């Protein structure tokens, strides 16, 4: 029995992988991270690199440097006094945090596209991404998970697979939007799987692999609608993003049709060290925090 079904499953998986690979290859010239951001990622991954190397790369791009300092000096960090140099920011926040800020500051331009069709505007997806990034950050602080910058970036990129679909398979993507608008019973991922042959989790995970992002981001993009399917040791960040995604859809912050439930699994909350009170506290702070993020990261157009 198993032998009869395995080849079929394998070929469905292989077909899906091929669809994802081809779409990613086609957009590699459009939806790439800016060269400077890739340089920063490579640099931080290199164990021999120093804060001086990172400083040198960032100072070559004054606009990015200015944006990073704006983020560093924002209420996000609550640092005493104004930080005037990238070097000082690296000393205070660490290489990894500055890398994450640089990536976040360069992402807005990937969400260009405006109104794709009735019912979908790329800007609403950016608003959703900002909301989920900010909320994941607040949840991680409330739960004392550590790494608030990583949490923020994870939330910011969780639905990046949709941008792959939008850029590489525009006509089919419009069909997906029309389908989910016409039928409230179908989930976004079901419509994607039926029309595109793969969903935004698969496209997003593949894009993060192409960008050589850490595996925690591949788990987030690939499993944020079903974090319980991940092994417990890989689950935390994807689970936090999942909770943020559900909260933001409930609060109608940006494009939320991709979210499949309005209930947060109590087991996930326990695993995240979150309580209903902590979630309520986050809800109370979220609007103001999102506005601040919008001001810091700008808009895609
Ligand atoms: Fe999603
Ligand atoms: Fe989402």
> Ligand 2 centroid vs 258 CA: distance in angstroms?
6
> Ligand 2 centroid vs 202 CA: distance in angstroms?
14
Average pLDDT for the chain: 88
In DSSP notation, 67-106 reads HHHHHHTSTTT--SS----HHHHHHHH-HHHHHHHHHHHH
pLDDT tens sequence across 194-235: 999 999 999 999 999 888 788 999 999 999 999 999 999 999
> Ligand 1 centroid vs 83 CA: distance in angstroms?
36
Answer yes or no: is 71 within a domain: no
Answer yes or no: is 46 within a domain: no
- How many structural domains are present in the chain? 1
Q: Which ligand is nearest to the CA of 254?
A: 2
> Ligand 1 centroid vs 189 CA: distance in angstroms?
8
> Ligand 2 centroid vs 256 CA: distance in angstroms?
6
Answer yes or no: is 273 within a domain: yes
Q: Which ligand is nearest to the CA of 126?
A: 2
Asked if the model's pLDDT at residue 129 lies above 80, the reply is: yes
Q: Which ligand is nearest to the CA of 220?
A: 1
pTM of the model as a whole? 0.87
pLDDT tens sequence across 93-109: 888 888 888 788 778 77
Other CB atoms closer than 10 Å to residue 62's CB: what's the count?
A: 9
Structural domain boundaries enclosing 130: 14-28+111-297
DSSP character for 34?
P
User: Looking at residue 160, which CATH number applies to its domain?
Assistant: 1.10.3210.10
For the chain, the helix, strand and coil percentages under 3-state DSSP, each to the nearest 5 = 70, 0, 25
Q: Which ligand is nearest to the CA of 129?
A: 2
> Ligand 1 centroid vs 114 CA: distance in angstroms?
19
> Ligand 2 centroid vs 147 CA: distance in angstroms?
20
pLDDT tens sequence across 146-197: 888 889 999 999 999 999 999 899 999 999 999 999 999 999 999 999 999 9
Size of the chain, expressed as the number of residues it contains: 301
Pick 83 or 285 by higher pLDDT: 285
Answer yes or no: is 6 within a domain: no
Q: Which ligand is nearest to the CA of 248?
A: 2
Q: What pLDDT score was predicted for residue 1?
A: 39
How far apart are the C-alpha atoms of 216 and 209, rounded to whole Å? 11
If we measure between CA atoms, which residue out of 209, 256, 212, 215 comes closest to residue 235?
A: 215
> Ligand 1 centroid vs 196 CA: distance in angstroms?
15
> Ligand 2 centroid vs 158 CA: distance in angstroms?
6
Answer yes or no: is 95 within a domain: no
């Amino acid at each position: 029995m198993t032998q009869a079904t395995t080849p079929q499953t394998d070929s469905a998986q292989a077909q899906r992988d091929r669809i994802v690979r081809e779409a990613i290859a086609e957009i590699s010239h459009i939806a790439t991270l800016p060269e400077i951001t890739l340089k920063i990622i490579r640099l931080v991954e290199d164990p021999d690199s120093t804060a001086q190397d990172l400083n040198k790369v960032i100072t070559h791009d004054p606009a990015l440097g200015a944006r990073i300092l704006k983020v560093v000096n924002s209420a996000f960090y609550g640092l005493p006094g104004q930080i005037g140099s990238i070097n000082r920011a690296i000393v205070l926040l660490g290489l990894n945090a500055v890398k994450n800020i640089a990536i976040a500051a360069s992402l807005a331009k990937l969400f260009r596209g405006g109104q794709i069709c009735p019912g979908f505007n790329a800007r609403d997806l950016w608003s959703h991404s900002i909301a989920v990034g900010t909320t994941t950050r607040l949840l991680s602080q409330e739960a004392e998970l550590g790494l608030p910058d990583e949490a923020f970036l994870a939330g910011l990129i969780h639905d990046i697979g949709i941008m792959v679909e939008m850029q590489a398979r525009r006509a089919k993507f419009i069909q997906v939007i029309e389908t989910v608008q016409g039928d409230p019973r179908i989930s976004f991922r079901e419509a994607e799987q039926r029309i595109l042959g793969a969903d935004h989790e698969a496209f997003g995970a593949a894009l993060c692999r192409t960008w050589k992002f850490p595996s925690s981001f591949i788990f987030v993009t690939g499993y944020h609608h079903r974090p319980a399917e991940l092994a417990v040791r890989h689950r935390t960040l994807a689970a936090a993003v999942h909770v943020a995604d559900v909260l933001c859809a409930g609060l109608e912050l940006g494009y939320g049709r991709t979210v499949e439930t309005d209930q947060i699994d109590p087991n996930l909350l326990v695993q995240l060290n979150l309580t209903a009170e902590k979630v309520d506290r986050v809800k109370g702070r979220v609007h103001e925090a999102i506005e601040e993020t919008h001001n810091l990261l700008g808009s895609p157009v």
